[in-house]
Amino acid sequence: EFVSEIKGLDEIEEILKRELHYKRVIIVPGDLDEDPNVKSELGRAAAKYVAGILRKGDIIALTGGSTIRDFVDSFPKKDEYGDLTIVPARGSMGKDIEIQSNTLVASLAEKLGASYRLLNVPDNMSERTLEAVLEESEIREVVSTIKKANVIILGIGRADVMAKRRGLGPEDINNLITLGARGEAFGTYFARNGKIVKKAAAVGLSIDDSLKVKDLVAVSGGTSKGDAIAAVRFAGENAVLVTDEGAAREIIKAL
Ligand code: G3H
């Protein structure tokens, strides 16, 4: 523990890159659990990175969450991105409209003068309802655009927090915890070392789609999320993690 305390951020970036299999890790100083300014810094760092990788014609999928909201808020207002399309990665969930992916999609598109599509379905449907909903031509059309996304920007959450936000009951949450679930991304729950313990029925993008996109940018920070970020693994060669020092030091302990 003492050793990790004295490591510099550059060195920690290299360790996380190697251990969690990211092609790049960007760490902002501080801990957003302690200092709300760090959350804005995290959003700004992610926005700066993403602004550098966008190419003409890209289709960018966003998840919801307060971290991705900060990313959107930090994105510089520019109208040179008119040929981009922004879409939600999945359906909507939770009660808070401010952090729904549809809301963030519209707000980023407005800033960039980009096109956007919305997906007006909940993300927690049963397989049977989902099949019926996907027969609707309007939904099918949006989903086919979402499936063509080549850039994904997503949050990583704690399994317990996200299970609650996704509307799971106490028994299901307990089951997940018993299975060792620690981190959540795309409705997929991960136990230690990237072991997948549950995948939510898919509407839009799933963890499997994440393998084939050009760029996947995960944005997540705070000491309280270290353990969750340490559990999640993306199997492709395309993933970048933007995090903060608080989470990064906690991840090192969790490895
Ligand atoms: O998709 C949501 C993230 O996984 C976590 O949400 O940024 O509000 O903590 P958050």
Three-state DSSP class for residue 77: coil
User: Which residue's CA lies nearest to atom 6 of ligand 1?
Assistant: 65
Alpha-carbon distance of 230 to 232, in angstroms, equals: 6
The 10s digit of each residue's pLDDT in 191-246 is 999 999 999 877 899 999 999 999 999 999 999 999 999 999 999 999 999 999 99
φ, ψ for residue 233, nearest 5 deg: -130, 135
Residues having CB within 6 Å of any atom of ligand 1: 63-67, 99, 155-157, 162, 184
The complex's ipTM? 0.93
- Work out which ligand 1 atom sits closest to the CA atom of 156: 4
Pocket of ligand 1, candidates 38, 40, 66: which has the most ligand atoms within 8 Å of its Cβ, to mutate? 66
Spell out the alpha helix ranges (H) of the chain. 2-6, 9-20, 36-53, 66-74, 101-112, 127-133, 137-147, 159-165, 170-178, 226-231, 245-254
The 10s digit of each residue's pLDDT in 81-119 is 879 999 999 988 777 889 999 999 999 999 999 999 999
The 10s digit of each residue's pLDDT in 23-76 is 999 999 999 999 999 999 999 999 999 999 999 999 999 999 999 999 999 998
Whole-structure pTM value: 0.95
- The continuous run of DSSP H or E covering 185 comes out as strand 183-185
Strand partners, 85: 59, 115
The pLDDT of residue 7 is above 80: no
What is the CA(145)–ligand 1 centre distance, in A? 23
Taking a C-beta distance cutoff of 8 angstroms, is the pair 244, 36 a contact?
A: no
- Work out which ligand 1 atom sits closest to the CA atom of 220: 7
The 10s digit of each residue's pLDDT in 138-180 is 999 999 999 999 999 999 999 999 999 888 899 999 999 999 9
Strands in 239-244's sheet, in edge-to-edge order, are 24-28, 239-244, 215-219, 151-155, 59-62, 85-88, 115-116
Q: Which two tokens stand for residue 76?
A: 């510089």
